[in-house]
């Protein structure tokens, strides 16, 4: 792996975000996949199992639905590359499961940002770009969209690269779209 970098990968559902993150990590010696999803039902358990099978067996998967900053600190000092997949689910976990306030979510994201900046590992962070779609009908949906948009902005500010995935193709928003490919 060349020099350390932090890359935020944004896009819609099935736009190629996770695949691109894995391509970035593919040249690294030691990869840790920080998974924020929780296996709450059969469909999600099957999806998680399929995703684990699709990754190289040498990659370590760690489930971190809530303490992402601590996981970045712990695993970033041991691995050469971290994949955080994804900030959308992480934000939803705090909003829905922990019933956290907007302010406490932003405070948590400050801790995540500090952990990212202090990590010696390169990091690819996946998140959904939800601002370009339809306006949600429910107040909670609109609140989530607003919070996630602000979370993405906070993380984008500290990243070396921000990539928008469109139809499986990376488009550079900040830095380069092919930082390590």
Helix H segments across 2-122? 17-25, 42-54, 68-76, 87-92, 102-118
Distance of alpha carbon 19 from alpha carbon 8, whole angstroms = 13
Q: Tokens standing for 30?
A: 């030691």
Query: In 3D, which of 1, 26, 3, 21 has the Cα closest to residue 163?
Result: 21
Residue 176: its pLDDT value, please? 84
Q: Does residue 56 lie within any of the structural domains?
A: yes
Most confident of 47-56, 127-136, 149-158: 149-158
Confidence band, pLDDT 50/70/90 cuts, at residue 180: very low
Determine whether 27 is exposed, middle or buried from the number of CB atoms within 10 Å of its CB (0-12, 13-18, 19+): middle
Residue 91: its pLDDT value, please? 96
What's the whole-number average pLDDT of the chain?
92
Residue 19: its pLDDT value, please? 94
Query: How many structural domains does the chain have?
Result: 1
Q: Does residue 82 lie within any of the structural domains?
A: yes
Helices 68-76 and 102-118 pack at an angle, to 10 degrees, of 0
Q: Which sequence positions are flagged as catalytic?
A: 51
Q: Does residue 110 lie within any of the structural domains?
A: yes
Q: Does residue 179 lie within any of the structural domains?
A: no
Q: Does residue 1 lie within any of the structural domains?
A: no
Q: Does residue 28 lie within any of the structural domains?
A: yes
Span 110-136, average pLDDT: 94
Domain of residue 147 covers 6-174
Continuous segment of H or E residues that includes residue 174: strand 169-174
Q: Does residue 180 lie within any of the structural domains?
A: no
Residue 1: its pLDDT value, please? 43
163 Cβ contact partners less than 8 Å away, ≥ 6 residues apart:
7, 8, 9, 10, 20, 170, 171, 172, 173, 177
Residue 47: its pLDDT value, please? 84
* Least confident among 42-51, 57-66, 157-166: 42-51
CATH number of the structural domain spanning residue 88: 3.40.50.300
Say which residue, 86 or 39, is predicted with more confidence.
86
Q: Tokens standing for 53?
A: 């099978």
Residue 177: its pLDDT value, please? 78
* pTM for this prediction: 0.93
Q: Does residue 181 lie within any of the structural domains?
A: no
């Amino acid at each position: 792996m060349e020099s350390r970098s932090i890359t935020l990968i944004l896009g819609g559902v099935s736009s190629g975000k996770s695949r691109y993150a894995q391509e970035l990590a593919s040249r690294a010696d030691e990869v840790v996949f920080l998974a924020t999803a929780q296996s709450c039902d059969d469909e999600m358990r099957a999806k998680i199992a399929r995703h684990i099978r699709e990754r190289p067996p040498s990659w370590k998967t760690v489930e971190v639905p809530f303490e992402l900053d601590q996981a970045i600190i712990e695993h970033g000092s041991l691995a050469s590359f971290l994949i955080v997949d994804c900030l959308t689910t992480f934000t939803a976990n705090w909003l829905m499961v922990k019933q956290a306030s907007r302010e406490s979510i932003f405070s948590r994201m400050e801790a995540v940002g500090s952990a990212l900046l202090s990590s010696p590992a390169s990091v690819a962070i996946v998140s959904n770009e939800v601002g370009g779609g339809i306006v949600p009908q429910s107040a909670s949906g609109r609140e989530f969209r607003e919070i996630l948009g602000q979370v993405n902005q906070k993380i984008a500010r500290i990243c070396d690269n921000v990539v928008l995935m469109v139809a499986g193709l990376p488009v550079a928003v900040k830095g380069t779209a092919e930082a390590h490919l």
